[in-house]
Structure 1
Amino acid sequence: MSTSLDPSRHEPLPQPPAGAGGGHVLDNPAWAAMNGPHRHLAEFVGRAGRYLSDVSPFVTLADFDDPAAWADVAELVGAGNTFTVAGVAELPEGWTGGDAIPGVQLVATTLRGELDPQAVRLGAEDVPEMLDLVERTRPGPFLPRTVEMGAYYGIRREGALVAMAGERLRPPGWTEISAVCTDPAYRGQGLATRMIRHVAAGIGARGDTPFLHAAAANTSAVKLYESIGFALRRTTVFRLVRVPDPIPTSPLDAR
């Protein structure tokens, strides 16, 4: 069974960068997801939000150019603590962090969603195996409750989980495919492509368009995604940020 996707209605081509007037929802998908389907998995202080600590490490702001939002995220995370944020090219004065890791955001343009008869839905009881597979393959952040962010599927061989993929961020009209990974012993069999197509079929069935993120340096993964129907929408960065100590004063507090 195949599912036809129509991403063209979502204008999945390059859009203004985050913070620019009239920006696209995919410029800050974590904020849109936290304020939508994932609100029960997130917590907020003003214009800053983060996923619960066992769901996802991502933190975001409503507007990366708003000093008050940075004061909110400082209060949310706490002085001296660190957090991960995507899409912030430059940090405000006084803020520090690790080197920015270049990334890419790709959207489905010609991807064919197709249900896989061997794919099985994964749930809480499968989390230990999922965490083990992630530890061995390093597809990106995956925590004990990440599975609650969306539908995750896997393929088993002799009872063992050898490949998986699932849904992470869900801004309006879009769903991110994430945790695409295959046990090294089973690579080269097309399992990653099958997992992506299976997850995409479910996304397309509810009218959303798939998108995903990858480290720019992971050229083999990017080439795979492009070969099956994804196109580059924008470049981005992933950054570990440290909250200043003491916490900066909000402009609103200074009035």
Structure 2
Amino acid sequence: MEDVLNNPVWYALNTHNAKLAYGFDNAKYFNTDVSPFIGLRDNDIDHFDQLYPVLNEGRICLLASTVLLDIPAKWTTIAFVPGVQMVHNNIKIPALDFHPLKPLSESNCADMLALTQLTNPGPFGNNTIQFGHYEGIFDDGNLVAMAGQRMHVPGYAEISAVCTHPDFTSKGYARQLLISQINRIILTGETPFLHCRSDNKRAIQLYNSLGFSERSAMHFYILKK
């Protein structure tokens, strides 16, 4: 079952996140307001070519791969981001209750967008909340930290959008939110996983302390049609 983690976007688009998917048998994608990710059954020229005609001109796409790729020339590679994929040891962690966690809904989207634009935890759009299970911490009515889930594949659920306002770091907010997400996923009988920039040593250290270990490299290609 762990093979699904070699191509998590593709498997998410074809399984638990299929209601958010568009495309064909070998190439699928999310609406841009949900996520820029595209997923290919195999990262080869034929499958790139199947996806290209159906995307709007100028669309920005995000492709994740455990191996380095040769991107077809018709695509413009805007950026390449080296990352790591980390998987949890599936051991529950005693919950922290220092700060009340509140479920986030569509009514919080403006605040969620503002926080992610400030902290840049990864792509986040107007309807990214549809992935579900977002929680936040508020201070004086303002959203100052949050986390949620994204790619959901058989046996695994990805923790995503972990971020804290710069004025509220070092208060344990990210740790508390991560523990909540970890325990939520384990209770469903699934295993938490996540992705992180390989140069984000502080985040990797936090994830290690909570039971995550590196499984593989994950290369992110930001592409433009």
| TM-score, normalised relative to structure 1 | 0.81
Aligned-pair CA distance for 1:75: 2.0
The gaps in structure 1 that reach 5 residues or longer are: 1-9, 12-23, 244-255
Q: Counterparts of 2:207 and 2:71 in 1: how far apart (Å)? A: 34
The residue number in structure 2 matching 1:163 is: 145
Distance in 2 separating the partners of 1:161 and 1:99 = 30
1:4: which partner in 2?
none
| Conserved? CA contact 1:122–1:153, under 8 Å | yes
Report whether the alignment pairs 1:147 with 2:126. no
Contact 1:137–1:183 (8 Å) recurs in 2? yes
Distance 1:159 1:78 in 2: 39
Q: Partners of 1:115 and 1:144 in 2: how far apart?
A: 30
The Cα of 1:111 is off from its aligned counterpart by 5.2
- Contact persistence 2:90–2:191 (CA under 8 A): no
RMSD of aligned Cα (Å): 1.9
* Equivalent position of 1:211 in the other structure: 193
Larger Rg: 1
Contact 1:49 1:76 (8 Å CA) reproduced: no
Partner of 1:20: none
- Find the aligned partners of 1:226 and 1:126 in 2 and give their Cα distance: 30
1:59 is the counterpart of 2:38: yes
Measure the CA separation in 2 of the matches of 1:46 and 1:144: 27
TM-score after normalising by structure 2: 0.91
- For 1:129, the equivalent position in structure 2 comes to 111
User: Sequence identity of aligned pairs in percent?
Assistant: 35
Indicate the residue corresponding to 2:61 in structure 1: 83
Measured after TM superposition, the shift of residue 219 of structure 1 is 1.3
Change (3 A) 1:146 1:79: closer
How far is the alpha carbon of 1:46 from its aligned partner? Answer: 3.5
Q: 2:221 matched to 1:239?
A: yes
Task: Indicate whether 1:97 and 2:82 are aligned.
Answer: no
Tell me the SS of whatever aligns to 2:51. Answer: helix
Amino acid at match of 2:27: A
Q: Give runs of aligned pairs for residues 18-97 of structure 1, distance below 5 A.
A: 24-65=3-44, 67-78=45-56, 81-87=59-65, 89-95=68-74, 96-97=76-77
Does the residue aligned with 1:213 lie in a helix, a strand or coil?
A: strand
Q: 1:163 & 1:78 partners in 2: Cα distance? A: 34
Q: 1:221 to 1:98 in 2, by over 3 A?
A: same
Counterparts of 1:106-121 in structure 2, within 5 Å, are 106-109=86-89, 112-117=92-97, 118-121=100-103
Describe the superposition over 1:91-119 as per-residue Cα deviations: whole angstroms up to 9, x where unpaired: 24534413421000001016534555511
Q: How many angstroms does 1:52 deviate by?
A: 1.1
Question: Structure 2: which 5+ residue stretches go unaligned?
Answer: none
Deviation, structure 1 residue 45: 2.8
CA separation of 1:30/1:114 partners in 2, compared to 1, >3 Å: closer, same or farther? farther
Deviations 1:58-93 (A, max 9, x none): 01101113x321211112325664421111612245
